Structure 1
Amino acid sequence: MISYSAPGKVYLYGEHAVVFGEPAVAAAIDRRVFTSVEERNDDIINIYSEDLPLRDISVRINSKGDAEVVGGEKTLAPLRYILEAIDFVSDKAGEELGFNLKIESELPLGGGLGSSAAVTVSTIACLSELHGLNLQEREIADIGYMVEKKVQKRASPCDTFTSSMGGVTWVETGKSLERKKPVEIPLVIGFTGKAGSTQKMVARVNELKKDYTEVVGPIIKSIGDITRTGIDAVEKEKLDELGRLMNINHGLLMALGVGNMDLSRIVDASRTAGAVGAKITGAGGGGCAVAVGENQKKISTAIEANGYEAFITNITENGVSRE
């Protein structure tokens, strides 16, 4: 049995603006996806997960590399990432193997916490060892990015890089990704219970910018300026400054139309409970908000008192890891 895990992530600053060339800061969190692979003596691939909407799915890969899926929806999002990961690694290895693949997740699906990247990265790591490739973390991140781009059509390398490498990532479109020095920042995640659609939210911001370029352009530039200013607060663990800039970032994301009442309630509950900052993380329209504050338990309890799921987490330096 080969087992690997990979972390989810939050955006501290910069989502949506990064699509338009502005920088963003992401951080790996200590909630993970766990993937295990066991080789079979035939060409069948069985995929199973209690945590993702996958139940006893079998995949037969023929000599042409075509996949026949039995027992599940072929368009199911997690399955598409897994199948593409299998395809990329099999092509690189020059061989096709049968195996049983099991996934366990501590991340809510569609929560904006990089669950698809963590599934992709941990799957690639398992298959790399199964095929004897022994890919390094950066290679896994690069293949993961190709997988996400194939599935999503348009993707950022940030999610798979952060999940593979761990820690804090500085990302700027068209430039290299940079892993920042280790930091300790107390986080609380609030989940609306509703999945957000990255594609829909990105399209909404694009349309808004097209219709009101002179208004929306400066908002996007301001988010970029927050990121450029805020990275110092992240690296020096200045929680008050980090939080104030997160609050401004949240207001600008709301102005772009990617918030909703659930996210606003989570953010307001977090701040009332003592969070120095709280904001949407990810695409918005649902999903999660992230709060920063020393009294994590009080913040978590306040979010739950408003009817939402909450969990305490921290930034982790551990990227993709063998279990």
Structure 2
Amino acid sequence: MSATDESGADGFLRDDEGTGSAHAKFILLGEHAVVYGRPAIGMPLPRMWVRAVARVTDGPLLLETDIYTGPLAEAPASFDAVGAAIRNALVHFGQPESHVEVCVHGDVPIGRGLGSSAAVAHAIVEAIRELFGGTLDDDERFELVQSAERVAHGNPSGLDARATRAPAPILFEQGAVTSLDVAFGGVFVIADTGIRGSTKIAVGDVAAYGVANPERSAALLDQLEQLTRDAAVDLAGDRRKELGGRMSRAHAILTELGAGHESITRLVDAAVGAGALGAKLTGGGQGGCVVALVASSADAAGVVDALTAAGAVNCWVVTAAGQRP
């Protein structure tokens, strides 16, 4: 079955292959609170990416990744969200769930709170769209990615689905996205604990805390909301010291809510001890990554050294735009 310049009965124009890509993200402030309709700030990491290629084949639906290669129907359960992205995109474009191979590769670590599942879904959806010559508006694209995110995380806020395609920092609140004014000269150091977290489990644990402690939970979420709104002002006004303080306060709140982990605490303490203006978990927590703020790129090296000595398996130094300083 040739795909080259072949127009099928469904009217879609097929080419040799379709490609798609998306980038990672980190949450500056507002994780977990965003699940309850509170605001969160998503920051792009465009130098960390996922790329997908979709091709028409003569056999069953196939998947190729760095971890698993073979029929999608035989993929481990950990690939259920990937499978949902592929199958839902094919259904959307009126294609059968066969005769397609999807290859996914990239450098966004899995289970680290950096948006890997949303980035993979975006890349897959775009690759399949391009393969069959279809069109998608923003809402359709978002819903296809969210369908995969629901499989991955249970009750996703939608922040990752928006932030992994956003070219600049965004404020996300109750599904609405606002581009942020950023005039910020500080530098962020992201450190990987090496512990794979589960957003679904962490969200459940935070919810359980709220059931057991409703008044305290509501007060903590109120504080996270105010910290996030103030952080947007800090980004616009280049208020580095103030933002660092808010990050550290947010971390204490998230830890009390149940998102902490001893590996995170170790890295946060190491970063602050090495001169960071503030540090916190980013993403679901209970493992994953820490983000620290330093005043300038000249201050980053010492913080990276301290994080590495404290057990970080990888570190990335980025600006507010997600680029290397």
TM-score (norm 1): 0.85
Provide the aligned C-alpha RMSD in A: 2.2
The 5 A counterparts of 1:257-272 are 257-272=258-273
Q: Work out whether residues 192 and 262 of structure 1, in 8 Å CA contact, stay in contact via their aligned partners in 2.
A: yes
Q: Work out whether residues 167 and 181 of structure 1, in 8 Å CA contact, stay in contact via their aligned partners in 2.
A: no
The 5 A counterparts of 1:65-144 are 69-70=73-74, 72-73=75-76, 75-76=77-78, 79-96=79-96, 98-135=99-136, 139-144=140-145
Identify the residue that residue 5 of structure 1 maps to in structure 2. Answer: 21
Identify the residue that residue 36 of structure 1 maps to in structure 2. Answer: 52
The 5 A counterparts of 1:242-281 are 242-281=243-282
Q: Work out whether residues 31 and 313 of structure 1, in 8 Å CA contact, stay in contact via their aligned partners in 2.
A: no
Secondary structure, in 3 states, of the residue corresponding to 2:82?
Answer: helix
Q: Work out whether residues 181 and 235 of structure 2, in 8 Å CA contact, stay in contact via their aligned partners in 1.
A: no
Q: Work out whether residues 196 and 285 of structure 1, in 8 Å CA contact, stay in contact via their aligned partners in 2.
A: yes
**Could you report, residue by residue, the CA deviation over 1:58-77 in whole angstroms, capped at 9, with x for unpaired residues?**
23xxxxxxxxx23x32x11x
Secondary structure, in 3 states, of the residue corresponding to 1:85?
Answer: helix
Partner Cα distance (2:61, 2:190) in 1: 35
Shift in CA distance, 82/226, structure 1 to aligned 2, threshold 3 Å? same
Identify the residue that residue 146 of structure 1 maps to in structure 2. Answer: 147
Amino acid at match of 1:57: G
Identify the residue that residue 12 of structure 2 maps to in structure 1. Answer: none
| Structure 1 position 197 matched with structure 2 position 210 | no
Task: Tell me which stretches of 4 or more aligned residues in structure 1 moved more than 4 Å.
Answer: 136-139, 182-185, 315-318
Secondary structure, in 3 states, of the residue corresponding to 2:134?
Answer: coil
For structure 1, the 5+ residue unaligned runs are 60-68, 319-323
Identify the residue that residue 56 of structure 1 maps to in structure 2. Answer: 69
Q: Work out whether residues 29 and 316 of structure 1, in 8 Å CA contact, stay in contact via their aligned partners in 2.
A: no
The 5 A counterparts of 1:14-25 are 14-25=30-41
- Residue number among 305, 311, 315 corresponding to 1:311 in the alignment: 315
Amino acid at match of 2:215: E
The 5 A counterparts of 1:179-194 are 179-181=179-181, 185-194=186-195
Identify the residue that residue 177 of structure 2 maps to in structure 1. Answer: 177
The alpha carbon displacement at 1:138 in A equals 5.8
The alpha carbon displacement at 1:238 in A equals 2.1
Larger RCO (alpha carbons 8 Å, 6+ apart): 1
Partner Cα distance (1:21, 1:55) in 2: 36
The alpha carbon displacement at 1:259 in A equals 0.9
Amino acid at match of 2:179: R
**Could you report, residue by residue, the CA deviation over 1:74-114 in whole angstroms, capped at 9, with x for unpaired residues?**
x11xx222211122221221123633322222222111111
Secondary structure, in 3 states, of the residue corresponding to 1:22?
Answer: coil
For structure 2, the 5+ residue unaligned runs are 1-16
Q: Work out whether residues 46 and 101 of structure 1, in 8 Å CA contact, stay in contact via their aligned partners in 2.
A: yes
Partner Cα distance (2:146, 2:159) in 1: 8
The alpha carbon displacement at 1:183 in A equals 5.3
Partner Cα distance (1:92, 1:205) in 2: 34
Shift in CA distance, 267/163, structure 1 to aligned 2, threshold 3 Å? same
Amino acid at match of 2:302: K
Partner Cα distance (1:183, 1:93) in 2: 41
Secondary structure, in 3 states, of the residue corresponding to 2:197?
Answer: coil
- Residue number among 290, 299, 310 corresponding to 2:303 in the alignment: 299
Amino acid at match of 1:9: K
Q: Work out whether residues 84 and 147 of structure 1, in 8 Å CA contact, stay in contact via their aligned partners in 2.
A: yes
Give the % identical residues.
27
Partner Cα distance (1:5, 1:311) in 2: 23
The alpha carbon displacement at 1:119 in A equals 0.6
Moved more, 307-316 or 24-33: 307-316
The alpha carbon displacement at 1:134 in A equals 4.2
The alpha carbon displacement at 1:115 in A equals 0.6
- State the aligned residue count: 301
Shift in CA distance, 102/110, structure 1 to aligned 2, threshold 3 Å? same
Moved more, 88-97 or 189-198: 88-97
Identify the residue that residue 237 of structure 2 maps to in structure 1. Answer: 236
Amino acid at match of 2:264: L
The alpha carbon displacement at 1:132 in A equals 0.5
Secondary structure, in 3 states, of the residue corresponding to 1:111?
Answer: coil
Secondary structure, in 3 states, of the residue corresponding to 1:256?
Answer: helix
Secondary structure, in 3 states, of the residue corresponding to 1:285?
Answer: coil
**Could you report, residue by residue, the CA deviation over 1:8-27 in whole angstroms, capped at 9, with x for unpaired residues?**
11111111122222211111
Secondary structure, in 3 states, of the residue corresponding to 1:7?
Answer: strand
Q: Work out whether residues 80 and 151 of structure 2, in 8 Å CA contact, stay in contact via their aligned partners in 1.
A: no
